[in-house]
Chain A
């Protein structure tokens, strides 16, 4: 009896578990469906509470392109994050649904799911999910409010039932901002770009021309005879960012005193974090002009001139940004190299277009 008692007890426990845990529900069984980056990419961190599911990605994509999220019904996420521009918008500052301008330049969304720490130029947003929650009520973006958005989604013939079904909610009254945020965040995690000509060159399946190779060597400091542009200290392979916050000398000393945009200091309160911004990726950078947190550099050549000059001095301006003494040829080769980071499969990926 003792022997069987133990097994019966265990069996009962398992039975209870089967009944309690929703094994069969597609919304809870995680399915990995993110596009794969190249093997050189470190693995992405996907939050345990929002495991990837193909239906969620598909729904997130629809919402990303839908103006239903904005108060005037005219603005969607894609207004400022356009797939044809690697999910940027070509403007120094963007105008949201309330007619107000964004404080900073809209960054490209390229491999954004890989960012291990905080998002935004100053790191003021903790996660992709949190970004969506804030975007809806941001007066310079969707300029709406969650009560309205949830009501509109609940009443929508497709979105209401789809969200209820996906999260196994009892009914639409249980729909919360977090559900909406989760599916959009899943779509954003799928925005993986790793098939540029540079990647093909590294994988040994494509060649770069002489100018591009010379630019690569200048970027990475691969050859002693060529000048070293120091770029790879911050824009490191494979993401072309090390995700750190640094001052690359964009703000002038005058701006430092008067600029309302303190960058990282606004988050940490540490005095020497003033003027620091998160190093952006350079993948697809040829498609994402204008540049920098304030959109102040119109072209890549202007950016290269900025670095060549050494940038504006400041006590925390990085020692890796200093006058470089590049020749015209060095600069144009560096430019040619930056163009090899364009991934045409990324911007033309049918899964990333307006559905």
Chain B
């Protein structure tokens, strides 16, 4: 009896292999490449000190965020094919300028070829996925970790580093900014003609200015002399970081 069940998929493959080939011609790979900077400078962990408002120096240990619910936008402006459920973009392993230039890539398989007018990224874990928990996935899935029991949410982004707030050179302040919760989920559409062709590498580049996530256009900034920790969803500073993320991320030319 068991043998028959094993054959069913084979029959299916045989029967459909012909149309499968047509389909492949209309699908392609798309790489989303992310790089990070701190204002003008490439972002590396540990090895570099960045100037921050209030005569503070800042040194990074970790910068990571989730992107989710990624759609290509059709020429008429409506949402086209969904190309990604969720991915974790982590710069935690970036220790040199060459690694920073290389960035972090998310490779999307089987994306329909064609002309698109843009791409939409969910910044954070979209509310539907944010109702799930690590136990819903296998250990190699990006959502099998970074879960916050207390807030029933994934930690959408983490910024961790040491700040020297007193000019002593001791980097006295341990900064850990963890943002999550549905209220901090954002979506950003990047209007830009995108042509995806089969049989050739397709790539879209994004860059994130970490400084812009912590300092807004009016000059308002997260003051590490006053506050070094955010581990919550409702804190106004968590919302400040989420709002800033919308401006901090841009598409590379």
Q: Which residues of chain A have C-beta atoms less than 8 A from B96's C-beta? A: 270
- Residue pair A272, B149 in contact (C-beta under 8 Å): no
- Residues 208-240 of A, flagged 1 when their CB comes within 8 A of B and 0 if not, give 000000000000111000001000110011100
- Residue pair B145, A242 in contact (C-beta under 8 Å): yes
- Interface-facing stretch out of B2-10, B16-24, B116-124, B245-253: B2-10
- Supposing A40-B133, A316-B46, A322-B174 touch, asked if A45 and B139 sit within 8 A by C-beta, the answer is yes
Any B CB within 8 A of the CB of A17: yes
CB of A113, distance to nearest CB on chain B (Å):
9
- Residues 312-351 of A, flagged 1 when their CB comes within 8 A of B and 0 if not, give 0001101110100000000000000000000000000000
- Residue pair A272, B174 in contact (C-beta under 8 Å): no
Any A CB within 8 A of the CB of B162: yes
- Supposing A319-B160, A320-B160 touch, asked if A233 and B135 sit within 8 A by C-beta, the answer is no
CA distance A318 to B133 in the complex (A): 26
Any B CB within 8 A of the CB of A13: yes
- Residues 9-40 of B, flagged 1 when their CB comes within 8 A of A and 0 if not, give 01100100000000000000000000000000
- Residue pair A238, B134 in contact (C-beta under 8 Å): yes
Partner of A42, one of B59, B92, B141, B175: B141
Q: Which residues of chain A have C-beta atoms less than 8 A from B145's C-beta? A: 236, 242-243
- Residue pair A10, B14 in contact (C-beta under 8 Å): yes
- Residue pair A220, B6 in contact (C-beta under 8 Å): no
Any B CB within 8 A of the CB of A146: no
Find residues 231-256 in chain A having any chain B CB closer than 8 Å to their own CB: 232-233, 236-238, 242-244
Any A CB within 8 A of the CB of B114: no
Q: Which residues of chain A have C-beta atoms less than 8 A from B149's C-beta? A: 220, 222, 232, 237
CA distance A39 to B133 in the complex (A): 10
- Residue pair B139, A44 in contact (C-beta under 8 Å): yes
- Residue pair A44, B138 in contact (C-beta under 8 Å): yes
CB of A114, distance to nearest CB on chain B (Å):
5
Any B CB within 8 A of the CB of A41: yes
Q: Which residues of chain B have C-beta atoms less than 8 A from A236's C-beta? A: 145-147
Q: Which residues of chain A have C-beta atoms less than 8 A from B134's C-beta? A: 40-42, 238
CB of A229, distance to nearest CB on chain B (Å):
13
Q: Which residues of chain A have C-beta atoms less than 8 A from B144's C-beta? A: 42, 116
CA distance A244 to B61 in the complex (A): 13
- Residue pair B47, A272 in contact (C-beta under 8 Å): yes
Q: Which residues of chain B have C-beta atoms less than 8 A from A243's C-beta? A: 145
- Residue pair B138, A320 in contact (C-beta under 8 Å): no
- Residues 139-153 of B, flagged 1 when their CB comes within 8 A of A and 0 if not, give 111001111011000
Q: Which residues of chain B have C-beta atoms less than 8 A from A18's C-beta? A: 3
CA distance A69 to B193 in the complex (A): 63
CB of A255, distance to nearest CB on chain B (Å):
19
CA distance A272 to B6 in the complex (A): 50
Known: A39-B135, A42-B139, A272-B46; 16 extra A-B contacts, CB below 8 A, are A10-B11, A14-B10, A17-B7, A42-B137, A43-B138, A45-B140, A116-B144, A222-B150, A232-B149, A233-B176, A238-B134, A244-B92, A270-B95, A272-B95, A316-B61, A319-B176
Listed from nearest, the 9 A-B pairs whose CB atoms lie closest are A319-B174, A42-B144, A43-B138, A116-B139, A272-B46, A40-B135, A42-B139, A322-B174, A42-B134
Name A residues whose Cβ lies closer than 8 Å to a Cβ of B: 10, 13-14, 17-18, 23, 29, 38-45, 114-116, 220-222, 228, 232-233, 236-238, 242-244, 270-273, 315-316, 318-320, 322
Name B residues whose Cβ lies closer than 8 Å to a Cβ of A: 2-3, 6-7, 10-11, 14, 45-47, 59, 61, 92-93, 95-96, 133-141, 144-147, 149-150, 160-162, 174-176, 231
24 A–B contact pairs at CB < 8 A? A10-B14, A42-B134, A42-B136, A42-B139, A43-B137, A43-B139, A44-B138, A220-B149, A220-B150, A222-B149, A238-B134, A238-B135, A242-B146, A244-B92, A270-B96, A272-B47, A272-B95, A316-B61, A318-B160, A319-B161, A319-B174, A319-B175, A320-B160, A320-B174
